[in-house]
Structure 1
């Protein structure tokens, strides 16, 4: 059985090359395992700043570096993994119950996120200890 972190992975998106410029597209249910309900993007992130710092209870996401680069650190409560995103034809699929942090933004970077649901504050874990309590099974007491 795979862990939540093992289900998160890079997605190689279609890239149509043309002398006039490249084109990449993303289709929900085909390239990513969810229908797209919301799109948002981060930009003008000051140098040294971090974003994220939360987990989602049920939301699926695809994170894409549309311009520039940044790092995404994923944490399932037992292991962490850092992904460096710097190409617009790769996306990082993030499943529910993964704590995420974004840092190391290059100047002029744009981070686009495709989400499986509309914004819902109740879907967030914003406190790491509360996330851990929900993500990790409680130890069983010995008889």
Structure 2
């Protein structure tokens, strides 16, 4: 499985850092942006795949694990730096867990919300991958 971590351009000085996401900094145009916060450490988020949508996840604050599955292989990526983004391409199952206290997950998406783009059941995801992506 090809995992792609993006370095978010940043400006640093003695007063702190600023992360800057401008046109060309990521491999798609952003059509939707949202963030997850106040998530209990025991909670799990995600639990789905997308057929067409690309996403970048960024731990703006704190940390969390992203469990990725491509239908054959499973990997876990820990996000804990606000200048690192994880690109999740279409047809990758994702689950988010192990949220630290005060963590915030920023999500940049290539498309607006479309329920038809989601696969929300893992067995359906595996069947979809076996049928459409051999």
User: Which bin holds the TM-score, normalised by the shorter protein?
Assistant: over 0.9
**TM-score, length-scaled by structure 2:** 0.94
Q: Aligned partners of 1:88 and 1:77: how far apart in 2?
A: 29
Residue 137 of structure 1, CA deviation: 4.2
Is residue 61 of structure 2 the alignment partner of residue 67 of structure 1? yes
Aligned length: 133
Correspondence for 1:96 among 83, 90, 101: 90
**TM-score, length-scaled by structure 1:** 0.88
Q: Aligned partners of 2:25 and 2:88: how far apart in 1?
A: 13
Residue 46 of structure 1, CA deviation: 0.9
Name the residue aligned to 2:81. 87
Correspondence for 1:56 among 50, 54, 59: 50
Q: CA RMSD, aligned part only? A: 1.5
Correspondence for 1:132 among 121, 126, 129: 126
Name the residue aligned to 1:33. 27
Q: Which of structure 1's runs of 4+ aligned residues deviate more than 3 A? A: none
Residue 31 of structure 1, CA deviation: 2.1
Residue 32 of structure 1, CA deviation: 1.5
Q: Where do 5+ consecutive residues of structure 2 fail to align? A: none
Correspondence for 1:23 among 1, 18, 21: 18
Higher strand share: 2
- Greater Rg, structure 1 or structure 2? 1
